[in-house]
Amino acid sequence: MKELSYNENYDKVLGSWIGRISGDFIGAPVELKSQKYIKSKYGKINYFIEPVDLNYVNDDEMYEIVALIALEKYGISLTAKDIAQEWINLLKNENYIFTAEKIAFNNLKSGIFPPKSGILNNFYFDFIGAQMRADIWGQITPGCPEIAKRYAEMDGSISHAGIGIEGEIFVAILISQAFFELNIGRNIKLALKYLPPEEESLYSQMVRKALEIYKQCPNQFKKARNLLVRNYWRKQIVDKLIESSKNFLLERRIILNSLVGGVHVLPNIGIIILSLLYGAEDKEDPLGRSICIAAMMGLDTDCNCGNIGAIIGAQIGADKIPSKWKDPLKDTFSTYVKSYEKWKISELARRITDIGQMIIEEKAQNLVKIKK
């Protein structure tokens, strides 16, 4: 039986959100920029690369806010359709809905609900969007990866399929386990057990390849990134993804060989794994080091840095996050969700913690105990 006090649980949820938002502010200015551009403009990144604007809004977190509202409205046994309905109710600015979520949103408005909404006409079904919004499902299931998996799989089906959903499952499990597992390498290997085996999943292959390359390249994260993305991703996988998508052959060929291909889930989970492993070598500030490495590696940097911050933040808790990352945020968070645009990060974390306590009490009494 694993045990946490309520305050410990809250500290880890709060840490996860501080990490998430800090990661956004690091990653957003360099999203989909080349490594050459990032290096020439920002050099070695070790702090926020642009001033923190508390009115800035990133589209990534709005789905997690909608999920929280849905959990509070429908209860912890909600369905994918319940969450999808809140997308329709609360996501009113369609200018900030992209790729797989955009196609799914149009399906939902036409009365097509999950899982069909995630598949119909959706040639972005395995892009990064589901993985991007995984954090909350780990935050509400501390130490309960199997329950985190069920929630993430349900949520992912709104807009994704196949390895797109595997991405949401994997990151949710990493966060769920991080409440108790303090070694990131062990956490990654444990989380892999919840995915299909390597011979059945390109996602599992990418995670294992990242682990292998990390061992090959001690203290060389840029070399590791290039081996993973330039060699493995481009040469080994892109053609397979195109060939396996017979319904969208032309569309997939275009997007996977364009800048937009950098938003695919596979190279980005590889970057997340490498950043977590190299960042963990910094014992004083693993969160800061991890999100900074991910920013220097490029591709979908705001999503990657956000997920990484959420994972490490849950692992170490808010109290152990250096003030250099916390103080500029001023306990403030903004989002595009209608009627929920402005938050205190502390209040957001409190509400998520309370949902998590309900889940533990009703669904995981034999696994985890949260002491009041």
HSE at residue 123, side-chain half, CA atoms within 13 A, is 18
Give residues with Cβ within 8 angstroms of 41, minimum separation 6: none
Total residue length of the chain: 372
Instruction: For residue 61, report the phi and psi dihedrals to the nearest 5 degrees.
Output: -80, -10
pTM (two decimals): 0.97
Instruction: State how far the Cα of 221 lies from the Cα of 294, in Å rounded to an integer.
Output: 10
Distance of CA 328 to CAs 10, 54, 323, 331, Å? 21, 9, 8, 8
Number of domains in the chain: 1
Helices 6-27 & 345-363 angle (0-180, nearest 10): 130
What CATH number is attached to the domain comprising 285? Answer: 1.10.4080.10
CB 71 within 8 Å of CB 355: yes
One digit per residue, pLDDT tens: the chain, 372 residues? Answer: 899 999 999 999 999 999 999 999 999 999 999 999 999 999 999 999 999 999 999 999 999 999 999 999 999 999 999 999 999 999 988 999 999 999 999 999 999 999 999 999 999 999 999 999 999 999 999 999 999 999 999 999 999 999 999 999 999 999 999 999 999 999 999 999 999 999 999 999 999 999 999 999 999 999 999 999 988 998 889 988 988 787 788 899 999 999 999 999 999 999 999 999 999 999 999 999 999 999 999 999 999 999 999 999 999 999 999 999 999 999 999 999 999 999 999 999 999 999 999 999 999 888 898 987
Instruction: State how far the Cα of 228 lies from the Cα of 225, in Å rounded to an integer.
Output: 5
Segments forming the whole domain that contains residue 221: 2-371
Q: Which of 321, 292, 333, 336 is nearest to 27 (CA)?
A: 292
CB atoms inside a 10 Å sphere around CB 70: 22
Residue 365 has a pLDDT of 80
